[in-house]
Structure 1
Amino acid sequence: MITAAAIARMIAAETERFSAANPRSAALAKAAARHWHGGVPFHWMLDWGTPFVLFADRAEGAELWDADGHRYDDFCLGDTGSMFGHSPPPVAAALTRQASRGLTYMLPTEDAVVVADELAARFKLPFWQVTSSASEANRAVIRWCRGITGRDKVLVFNGCYHGAVDDVFVDLRDGVPELRGSLIGQVYDMREHTVVIEFNDLPALEAALAKGDVACVLAEPAMTNVGMVLPQPGYLEALREACTRHGSLLVWDETHTISSGYGGYSATFGPLGDLFVLGKPVAGGIPCAVYGFSAEVAARMEQLWAVGEKGHSGIGTTLSANALALAAMRACLTEVMTPAAYAHMLPLAESLAAKIRAVIAANGLDWHVAHIGARGEFICASAPAQNGTEARAKMHGALEHVLHLFLINRGVLIAPFHTMTLVSPATTATQVDRLAEVLDQCLKTLRG
């Protein structure tokens, strides 16, 4: 039993400990607040639950050092951006080579040929395009799907996350679609063009698609943003079949689920989508994303081009597919995101999940661990969630807050959103053991 009073006491103690241990970060946070809004160059950097932001100094592999010289075992890895380790040597070398040869030309390089061949072979879709982020790739995909189907609606799942795409900021609350409260300054109601249903709900999916106005279903094969929600047996296959039958395109956003296996979830376990989006780690942490599509989708794109006005389509930006990003992506795909990397990551992540389950059981807690591939999450509630509503109901903000603070103060970083972990090719068994040991120490302290 963990009481609210125990949580409050630990938050106070760990906040004081953090403040005392990080004077350099405190000074930098104060200086940054002069002109960075909120004291950080990007607002999400405030989401760690610390009394002031922790300033990083450097990172390598699965380790990070802060401005005060503390070393961390890093299981956050830039919230997937550095999923294959910080500054992988092949990527760092490729960036060094390209940096003196030009950063962006608005022309392809030889790297582009290698990258496209690698993407097609690995993810089993023949045609590709490059953008600067997964958000941008998802926007492009939605526009293409609407254009080639002549339909206006996008279907998403309650609690989804597909980057900063306005169309997906719709949730279900008590079964009623609502605009997500975090979307600032929106001037039209996305519910006019976005359909939201629960994950794993086949009747709701069938009813939504049967109306014949859904251009595409945009989904992660396993939800990762509202906590981890895994697909029920047969659900993804039924989703694939329903999309085909009703003429809606199926888009897999595998920016997070690339951790599932060498070809992501869909190429590893199936089924394939009509389109595929991958951002964050594809260039080793350099801003870059790709979207792929089937030959049929490519043919329909070309038909749309043939009847449209030539010129700027509103899809893509000047720096998309710049030479630096292509060089980084080539090195990452061919030398870092390899079968050997996954052969290290997946068993080690399995070991981590087992160790955390053992710690939870030893402390007599009715919690569970969700796990697939290199990604896992220990959830402070019993039984896995089946959908976004159930996942939200299992959240425990104060308890998650204190878990993060306790781990940070003892040199362990996990993703600041929920209690999610990633294992990289550079992660060691010693680091896995240490995370489990620190979590055990935290739970024993909380339980008194």
Structure 2
Amino acid sequence: MSSNIFVVGADPFNMEKVRRLNLGVDHRIHELLSFDEVKGGGYYPVEDCLALAEQRLAAFDGSIDAIVGYWDFPVTAMTAILCRRHGLTTPTLESVLRCEHKYWSRLEQCRAIPEFTPGFTQVDPFSDDEINNIELPYPFWIKPVKGTDSLLAFKVRNREDLRSSIAAIRREIHRIAEPFDHILSHARLPEEIVPVKGHHCIVEELVPGRQCTVEGYVHDGEVHHHGIIDSINYPQSSSFLRYQYPSRLPRRVKDRAVEATRELMQHIGYDNATYNVEYFYQPKTEKLVLLEINPRLSQSHSDMFEKVDGASNLQIMAELALGQPPDFPVREGRYGCAAKFHVRVFEDGIATHVPDGNELEQIRQRFPGTLIELKIKPGMRLSELIEQDSYSYDIAHIHTGARNQKELLEKFNRILEALHFEFAPVGADEDKAPAVPGIAVQ
């Protein structure tokens, strides 16, 4: 009899990969909730989605064997809630929130691995008194206690930056605060966390360095890792340029990150699911600082694992949900390294030309193994894109692989030259339109 696996927050690009998984057992994949239903509108109707998921599960004529999701908020929390209701394999909602609630997570990090935890505090952005008495020195980051894709995360260098950041947060934070409060209402919270609502923010020490991510899973209490990925920003920017696998960090640094992650995940009590934990590494001092814990795999890494190791990390997610110990290959893929590149524009504009299907097919034929995700359509204004960081617009993703980093970056630059976007200006600068960054990465 087939096992039935239900996917929360399904999108076409990743669902194609999920449907191709080889799990070694007869199984069927079902879309429980689509990406658009869960978060495609730029808001998060948590209670409506939970009710809709329950209606669809109740109407299903067959066994419910696993419920999975690969997106961040609210998919991670909703998946834990649904699995708990149906007695399925899942981490507890509270362990998920110890990762996702940025303030709660920092408190737990201080208890488990204090030497890896930066300075931080929490603040109510609607309290002038609290804002005027932030104790961390400039510069620092301010962001919601629950974020997604760097939404409303601001680098604050001075008082003027703080004023403008607080204004934007007050204007927009309800979009994520209200649904996060709905999620918190399903959990048993410690007394120190109860007063920190969804509209609160965390203020964190600004830590420079090279960013990397330890990705792995916990199975029956034992913490494993299956890869370390480098995260590389655009020059002089906090916006991501690419994720690259395998990491080029020194072995001793990677070993320290893996050990710190093991201690942390065991302390949090997270079990039987995937995770990814992000760090900053400072080469001069060899200091490692933890950025955040994500209680899920990174779907941004899936194609890279497939290209280098020969299987997607989505396989691990599904195997764990079915109660199976993961069986993941190592370096059995076609390429020596791979990356996911983010094509960004740093000014607002209206898309007047976006590559069509024929143009994309020509690029794929020139560069075999390359996948391109377009995030915009003709006529779209960039500022209407959802879940963007505070400084850029993410217009396309390029997934590709090569023998080594040199070939990888040369290949990306050729692909970028072949991708043709055009934008019309917005506002007063009618003679000045934004352009796709024609950078040569190194």
TM > 0.5: no
Which structure has more RCO (C-alpha within 8 Å, separation ≥ 6)? 1
TM-score interval (norm. to shorter): 0.3 to 0.5
If the length of structure 2 is used for normalisation, what is the TM-score?
A: 0.32
Comparing both structures, which one devotes a greater share of its residues to helix?
1
**TM-score, normalisation: structure 1:** 0.32
